């Protein structure tokens, strides 16, 4: 994923050097990935986003010791940037999401709640997010794990299973219904971030 600027903050990451008035800005590194996994009655498929060239921001609007709320900022993912490895599957993916009418998938981080983690060195959060597919929005909860990858680099990893029907879409079918895509899709976030 090409350089993607996002201002992201968690309670422990918004401030540095004891200065609680300064928000830390973060950059999503090119090695970050966003993958959509699905299946049909014939095989499985994976659609990945390999580039993102917009600059989106996410800003803190409210916080407590264990809760962070963000101003309503939106990460816009162009549907045409997702590659499903096979031209026919990629075309079907774009058609199903009505890319000609709704060219972007919207992902908004609304808030984060710190939750306990049993893994040393890993901080866990339950995020409330707003997902927009084909012009239809749904608020969802996604669990994220966060840890230091290396010096000045951090991983933010989460996964969520959604359904086409959650967004009033019909799963695609081909060959007069002989090939049917399952209703469920799983979105995998694997973000590598570093502070500016």
Q: Domain limits at 103? A: 4-195
| CATH for 92 | 2.40.128.110
Question: pTM of the predicted model, to two decimals?
Answer: 0.80
Total domains in the chain come to 1
Q: Which stretches of the chain score pLDDT less than 70?
A: 1-26, 50-65, 68, 70-73, 175-178, 195-196
* Residue 159 pLDDT: 95
- Residues 73-98 as b/e (b if ≥16 CB within 10 A, e otherwise) read bebebebebbbbeeeebbebbbebbe
pLDDT per residue over 129-180, tens digit each? 999 999 999 999 999 998 888 878 888 899 999 999 999 988 877 755 567 8
Give CB contacts under 8 A, 24+ apart, made by 112-116. 112/10, 112/11, 112/67, 112/68, 112/70, 112/144, 113/66, 113/67, 113/68, 114/10, 114/11, 114/66, 114/67, 115/143
């Amino acid at each position: 994923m090409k350089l993607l600027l996002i201002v992201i903050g968690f309670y422990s990451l918004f401030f540095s050097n004891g200065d609680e008035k300064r928000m830390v800005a973060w950059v999503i590194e090119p090695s970050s990935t966003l993958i959509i996994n699905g299946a049909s009655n014939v095989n499985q498929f994976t659609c990945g986003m390999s580039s993102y060239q917009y600059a989106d921001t996410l800003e803190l609007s409210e916080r407590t010791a264990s809760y962070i709320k963000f101003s309503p900022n939106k990460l816009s993912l162009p549907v045409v940037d997702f590659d499903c490895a096979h031209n026919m599957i990629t075309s079907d993916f774009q058609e199903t999401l009505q890319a000609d009418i709704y060219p972007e998938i919207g992902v908004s981080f609304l808030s984060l709640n710190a939750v306990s983690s049993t893994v040393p060195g890993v901080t866990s959060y339950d995020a409330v997010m707003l997902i927009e597919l084909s012009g239809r929005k749904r608020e969802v909860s996604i669990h994220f794990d966060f840890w230091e990858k290396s010096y000045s680099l951090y991983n933010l990893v989460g996964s969520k299973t959604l359904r086409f029907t959650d967004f009033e879409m019909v799963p695609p079918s081909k060959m007069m219904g002989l090939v049917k895509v399952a209703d469920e899709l799983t979105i995998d976030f694997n973000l590598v971030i570093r502070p500016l």
